[in-house]
Protein backbone atom coordinates (compact mmCIF):
# COMPACT_ATOMS: atom_id res chain seq x y z
CA UNK A 1 0.00 0.00 0.00
CA UNK A 2 2.80 2.39 0.96
CA UNK A 3 4.76 1.45 -2.18
CA UNK A 4 1.72 2.14 -4.36
CA UNK A 5 1.31 5.62 -2.84
CA UNK A 6 5.00 6.36 -3.38
CA UNK A 7 4.74 5.32 -7.03
CA UNK A 8 1.64 7.45 -7.49
CA UNK A 9 3.44 10.40 -5.94
CA UNK A 10 6.42 9.94 -8.25
CA UNK A 11 4.19 9.70 -11.31
CA UNK A 12 2.33 12.84 -10.24
CA UNK A 13 5.60 14.73 -9.71
CA UNK A 14 6.91 13.56 -13.09
CA UNK A 15 3.75 14.69 -14.89
CA UNK A 16 3.91 18.04 -13.06
CA UNK A 17 7.54 18.59 -14.07
CA UNK A 18 6.80 17.69 -17.71
CA UNK A 19 3.78 20.00 -17.91
CA UNK A 20 5.60 22.90 -16.26
CA UNK A 21 8.56 22.38 -18.60
CA UNK A 22 6.24 22.50 -21.61
CA UNK A 23 4.56 25.66 -20.32
CA UNK A 24 7.99 27.21 -19.72
CA UNK A 25 9.11 26.42 -23.27
CA UNK A 26 5.86 27.81 -24.65
CA UNK A 27 6.52 31.08 -22.79
CA UNK A 28 10.20 31.19 -23.78
CA UNK A 29 9.64 30.39 -27.47
CA UNK A 30 8.16 33.79 -28.54
CA UNK A 31 10.97 35.65 -26.75
CA UNK A 32 13.61 33.52 -28.45
CA UNK A 33 11.93 34.02 -31.83
CA UNK A 34 11.83 37.82 -31.43
CA UNK A 35 15.49 37.98 -30.38
CA UNK A 36 16.60 35.68 -33.23
CA UNK A 37 14.77 37.62 -35.93
CA UNK A 38 16.15 40.92 -34.62
CA UNK A 39 19.78 39.78 -35.09
CA UNK A 40 19.35 37.66 -38.23
CA UNK A 41 19.97 39.07 -41.75
CA UNK A 42 16.64 39.56 -43.47
CA UNK A 43 17.66 37.43 -46.46
CA UNK A 44 18.12 34.46 -44.15
CA UNK A 45 14.74 35.16 -42.55
CA UNK A 46 13.13 35.08 -45.98
CA UNK A 47 14.89 31.83 -46.89
CA UNK A 48 13.42 30.18 -43.79
CA UNK A 49 9.94 31.47 -44.46
CA UNK A 50 10.13 34.04 -41.69
CA UNK A 51 10.75 31.38 -39.01
CA UNK A 52 14.10 31.63 -37.21
CA UNK A 53 15.01 30.21 -33.83
CA UNK A 54 18.79 29.76 -33.99
CA UNK A 55 20.39 32.23 -36.43
CA UNK A 56 23.28 31.01 -38.56
CA UNK A 57 24.66 34.51 -39.02
CA UNK A 58 24.26 37.59 -36.85
CA UNK A 59 23.82 41.26 -37.71
CA UNK A 60 22.98 44.26 -35.54
CA UNK A 61 21.87 46.43 -38.46
CA UNK A 62 18.32 46.67 -37.10
CA UNK A 63 19.59 47.96 -33.74
CA UNK A 64 21.92 50.41 -35.48
CA UNK A 65 18.99 51.74 -37.49
CA UNK A 66 16.88 51.97 -34.35
CA UNK A 67 19.52 53.98 -32.49
CA UNK A 68 19.88 56.43 -35.39
CA UNK A 69 16.58 58.04 -34.42
CA UNK A 70 17.35 61.46 -32.87
CA UNK A 71 14.91 61.04 -29.96
CA UNK A 72 15.45 57.38 -29.07
CA UNK A 73 17.75 58.10 -26.10
CA UNK A 74 15.64 61.04 -24.91
CA UNK A 75 12.63 58.74 -25.00
CA UNK A 76 14.45 56.17 -22.90
CA UNK A 77 15.32 58.82 -20.28
CA UNK A 78 11.71 60.05 -20.21
CA UNK A 79 10.39 56.51 -19.81
CA UNK A 80 12.84 55.74 -16.99
CA UNK A 81 11.85 58.98 -15.24
CA UNK A 82 8.10 58.44 -15.42
CA UNK A 83 8.57 54.79 -14.41
CA UNK A 84 10.73 55.47 -11.34
CA UNK A 85 9.08 58.68 -10.16
CA UNK A 86 5.59 57.58 -11.20
CA UNK A 87 5.85 54.27 -9.35
CA UNK A 88 7.13 56.05 -6.23
CA UNK A 89 4.21 58.53 -6.38
CA UNK A 90 1.73 55.69 -6.99
CA UNK A 91 2.92 53.64 -4.02
CA UNK A 92 3.13 56.65 -1.70
CA UNK A 93 -0.40 57.86 -2.42
CA UNK A 94 -1.83 54.33 -2.49
CA UNK A 95 -0.42 53.58 0.97
CA UNK A 96 -1.48 56.99 2.26
CA UNK A 97 -5.08 56.31 1.20
CA UNK A 98 -5.22 52.59 1.96
CA UNK A 99 -4.20 52.83 5.61
CA UNK A 100 -7.02 55.12 6.84
CA UNK A 101 -9.54 53.22 4.69
CA UNK A 102 -8.46 49.98 6.39
CA UNK A 103 -9.54 51.38 9.79
CA UNK A 104 -13.18 50.41 10.30
CA UNK A 105 -13.83 53.27 12.72
CA UNK A 106 -12.86 55.96 10.18
CA UNK A 107 -15.74 58.46 9.68
CA UNK A 108 -17.15 58.35 6.15
CA UNK A 109 -15.14 55.24 5.26
CA UNK A 110 -18.00 53.45 3.47
CA UNK A 111 -18.82 56.54 1.39
CA UNK A 112 -15.22 56.89 0.24
CA UNK A 113 -15.01 53.19 -0.61
CA UNK A 114 -18.24 53.46 -2.60
CA UNK A 115 -16.81 56.38 -4.59
CA UNK A 116 -13.61 54.41 -5.29
CA UNK A 117 -15.62 51.43 -6.56
CA UNK A 118 -17.68 53.83 -8.68
CA UNK A 119 -14.51 55.01 -10.45
CA UNK A 120 -13.74 51.39 -11.34
CA UNK A 121 -17.07 51.14 -13.18
CA UNK A 122 -17.32 54.62 -14.71
CA UNK A 123 -14.60 57.03 -15.83
CA UNK A 124 -14.78 60.77 -16.37
CA UNK A 125 -14.12 60.42 -20.10
CA UNK A 126 -11.23 61.48 -22.31
CA UNK A 127 -12.36 65.07 -23.02
CA UNK A 128 -13.11 66.07 -19.39
CA UNK A 129 -9.82 64.55 -18.28
CA UNK A 130 -7.95 66.42 -21.03
CA UNK A 131 -9.57 69.70 -19.97
CA UNK A 132 -8.51 69.11 -16.36
CA UNK A 133 -4.94 68.31 -17.40
CA UNK A 134 -4.88 71.43 -19.58
CA UNK A 135 -6.32 73.71 -16.89
CA UNK A 136 -3.73 72.52 -14.36
CA UNK A 137 -0.86 73.31 -16.71
CA UNK A 138 0.33 69.73 -17.12
CA UNK A 139 0.22 69.62 -20.92
CA UNK A 140 3.63 68.99 -22.51
CA UNK A 141 5.19 67.98 -19.20
CA UNK A 142 6.24 64.57 -17.94
CA UNK A 143 3.80 65.03 -15.04
CA UNK A 144 0.91 64.65 -17.46
CA UNK A 145 1.88 60.97 -17.67
CA UNK A 146 2.11 60.59 -13.87
CA UNK A 147 -0.46 62.72 -12.03
CA UNK A 148 -3.69 61.67 -13.86
CA UNK A 149 -3.03 58.01 -12.95
CA UNK A 150 -1.47 58.66 -9.53
CA UNK A 151 -3.80 56.18 -7.78
CA UNK A 152 -5.35 53.06 -9.26
CA UNK A 153 -8.63 52.23 -7.51
CA UNK A 154 -8.23 48.46 -7.87
CA UNK A 155 -4.70 48.45 -6.48
CA UNK A 156 -5.87 50.72 -3.67
CA UNK A 157 -8.50 48.16 -2.64
CA UNK A 158 -5.89 45.40 -2.69
CA UNK A 159 -3.60 47.43 -0.43
CA UNK A 160 -6.51 48.28 1.88
CA UNK A 161 -7.50 44.63 2.12
CA UNK A 162 -3.95 43.58 3.03
CA UNK A 163 -3.56 46.18 5.79
CA UNK A 164 -7.03 45.44 7.13
CA UNK A 165 -6.13 41.79 7.60
CA UNK A 166 -3.03 42.50 9.68
CA UNK A 167 -3.54 41.54 13.36
CA UNK A 168 -5.32 44.35 15.19
CA UNK A 169 -3.26 43.64 18.33
CA UNK A 170 -0.20 45.08 16.58
CA UNK A 171 -1.92 48.44 16.10
CA UNK A 172 -3.25 48.47 19.67
CA UNK A 173 0.20 47.76 21.10
CA UNK A 174 1.72 50.57 19.05
CA UNK A 175 -0.93 53.03 20.24
CA UNK A 176 -0.38 52.01 23.85
CA UNK A 177 3.33 52.81 23.38
CA UNK A 178 2.33 56.29 22.25
CA UNK A 179 2.78 55.90 18.49
CA UNK A 180 0.62 58.11 16.29
CA UNK A 181 -1.03 56.94 13.09
CA UNK A 182 1.60 58.27 10.68
CA UNK A 183 4.37 56.60 12.68
CA UNK A 184 2.40 53.35 12.73
CA UNK A 185 2.12 53.54 8.95
CA UNK A 186 5.83 54.17 8.39
CA UNK A 187 7.39 51.91 11.02
CA UNK A 188 4.82 49.14 11.33
CA UNK A 189 2.51 48.82 8.34
CA UNK A 190 4.96 49.39 5.50
CA UNK A 191 7.59 46.86 6.72
CA UNK A 192 4.85 44.24 7.09
CA UNK A 193 3.45 45.09 3.65
CA UNK A 194 6.59 44.30 1.66
CA UNK A 195 4.98 41.56 -0.52
CA UNK A 196 2.01 43.69 -1.58
CA UNK A 197 4.22 46.76 -2.10
CA UNK A 198 6.52 44.86 -4.46
CA UNK A 199 3.57 43.34 -6.29
CA UNK A 200 1.74 46.63 -6.79
CA UNK A 201 5.05 48.31 -7.55
CA UNK A 202 5.63 45.83 -10.37
CA UNK A 203 2.15 46.49 -11.77
CA UNK A 204 2.68 50.25 -11.63
CA UNK A 205 6.15 49.91 -13.16
CA UNK A 206 4.90 47.94 -16.16
CA UNK A 207 2.04 50.40 -16.58
CA UNK A 208 4.41 53.39 -16.72
CA UNK A 209 6.99 51.61 -18.86
CA UNK A 210 4.34 50.85 -21.48
CA UNK A 211 2.97 54.41 -21.39
CA UNK A 212 1.49 55.28 -24.78
CA UNK A 213 -2.08 56.58 -24.66
CA UNK A 214 -1.56 59.50 -22.27
CA UNK A 215 1.57 60.60 -24.12
CA UNK A 216 -0.35 60.50 -27.38
CA UNK A 217 -2.99 62.85 -25.95
CA UNK A 218 -1.05 65.20 -23.68
CA UNK A 219 2.43 65.43 -25.25
CA UNK A 220 3.34 67.32 -28.44
CA UNK A 221 6.99 68.07 -27.65
CA UNK A 222 9.03 65.29 -29.36
CA UNK A 223 11.72 65.45 -26.67
CA UNK A 224 9.14 64.45 -24.03
CA UNK A 225 7.72 61.41 -25.81
CA UNK A 226 8.22 58.06 -24.03
CA UNK A 227 9.84 55.14 -25.74
CA UNK A 228 6.60 53.50 -26.93
CA UNK A 229 5.59 56.60 -28.92
CA UNK A 230 9.03 56.97 -30.50
CA UNK A 231 9.21 53.29 -31.46
CA UNK A 232 5.75 53.46 -33.01
CA UNK A 233 6.82 56.41 -35.18
CA UNK A 234 10.06 54.68 -36.18
CA UNK A 235 8.09 51.65 -37.34
CA UNK A 236 5.61 53.80 -39.26
CA UNK A 237 8.45 55.62 -41.03
CA UNK A 238 10.09 52.27 -41.78
CA UNK A 239 6.89 50.95 -43.37
CA UNK A 240 6.68 54.02 -45.58
CA UNK A 241 10.32 53.58 -46.58
CA UNK A 242 9.71 49.92 -47.45
CA UNK A 243 7.12 51.00 -49.98
CA UNK A 244 9.60 53.28 -51.75
CA UNK A 245 12.86 51.31 -51.66
CA UNK A 246 14.27 47.82 -52.14
CA UNK A 247 15.29 45.49 -49.35
CA UNK A 248 18.96 46.33 -49.91
CA UNK A 249 18.42 50.03 -49.30
CA UNK A 250 16.52 50.01 -46.00
CA UNK A 251 16.28 47.88 -42.91
CA UNK A 252 13.11 45.75 -43.32
CA UNK A 253 10.21 46.56 -41.04
CA UNK A 254 10.14 43.03 -39.54
CA UNK A 255 13.75 43.19 -38.30
CA UNK A 256 13.27 46.72 -36.98
CA UNK A 257 10.05 45.71 -35.26
CA UNK A 258 11.71 42.81 -33.46
CA UNK A 259 14.66 44.98 -32.42
CA UNK A 260 12.19 47.52 -31.04
CA UNK A 261 10.42 44.82 -29.02
CA UNK A 262 13.72 43.67 -27.50
CA UNK A 263 14.76 47.25 -26.71
CA UNK A 264 11.42 48.09 -25.10
CA UNK A 265 10.96 44.93 -23.03
CA UNK A 266 14.50 44.01 -21.95
CA UNK A 267 14.63 46.34 -18.88
CA UNK A 268 11.40 44.89 -17.48
CA UNK A 269 12.63 41.34 -18.07
CA UNK A 270 15.87 42.14 -16.24
CA UNK A 271 14.05 43.66 -13.24
CA UNK A 272 11.40 40.94 -12.83
CA UNK A 273 13.60 38.17 -11.32
CA UNK A 274 14.50 40.44 -8.40
CA UNK A 275 10.85 40.88 -7.37
CA UNK A 276 9.56 37.44 -8.38
CA UNK A 277 9.40 36.00 -4.84
CA UNK A 278 7.40 39.02 -3.61
CA UNK A 279 5.18 38.86 -6.69
CA UNK A 280 4.23 35.25 -5.91
CA UNK A 281 3.28 36.16 -2.33
CA UNK A 282 1.27 39.16 -3.44
CA UNK A 283 -0.75 37.34 -6.10
CA UNK A 284 -3.09 35.81 -3.50
CA UNK A 285 -3.66 39.06 -1.61
CA UNK A 286 -6.68 40.02 -3.70
CA UNK A 287 -8.42 36.80 -2.63
CA UNK A 288 -8.24 37.74 1.06
CA UNK A 289 -11.56 38.89 2.39
CA UNK A 290 -11.50 42.65 3.08
pTM over 0.85? The answer is no
- Rounded CA separation 255/41 (Å): 8
* Cβ atoms within 10 Å of 121's Cβ, excluding its own: 7
* Cβ atoms within 10 Å of 189's Cβ, excluding its own: 22
- Rounded CA separation 144/81 (Å): 13
- Rounded CA separation 169/40 (Å): 61
Do residues 91 and 197 make contact, with C-beta atoms less than 8 angstroms apart? yes
pLDDT in tens, the chain (290 residues): 556 666 667 788 888 888 888 888 888 888 888 888 888 887 777 777 767 777 888 888 888 888 888 888 889 999 999 999 999 999 999 999 999 998 888 888 889 999 998 988 888 888 889 999 999 999 999 999 999 989 999 999 989 988 888 888 888 888 888 888 888 888 888 888 888 888 898 889 989 999 999 999 999 988 899 999 988 888 777 666 554 444 444 456 777 888 888 888 888 888 777 766 666 655 555 444 44
pLDDT of residue 247: 43
Instruction: Please provide the CATH number assigned to the domain covering 62-290.
Output: 1.10.3720.10
Dihedral class, residue 18 (left if φ above 0, else alpha if ψ from -120 to 50, else beta): alpha
Residue spans per domain, the chain: 1-59, 62-290
Do residues 172 and 181 make contact, with C-beta atoms less than 8 angstroms apart? no
Amino acid sequence: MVTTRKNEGRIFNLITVVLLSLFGLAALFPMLYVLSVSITPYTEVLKNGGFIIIPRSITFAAYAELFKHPYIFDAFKVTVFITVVGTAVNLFLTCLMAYPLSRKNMPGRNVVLMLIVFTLLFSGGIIPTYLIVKSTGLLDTVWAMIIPTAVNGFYLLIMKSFIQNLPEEIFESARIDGAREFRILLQLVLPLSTPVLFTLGLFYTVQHWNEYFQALIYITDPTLNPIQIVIHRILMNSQNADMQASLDEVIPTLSLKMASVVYATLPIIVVYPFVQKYFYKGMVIGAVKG
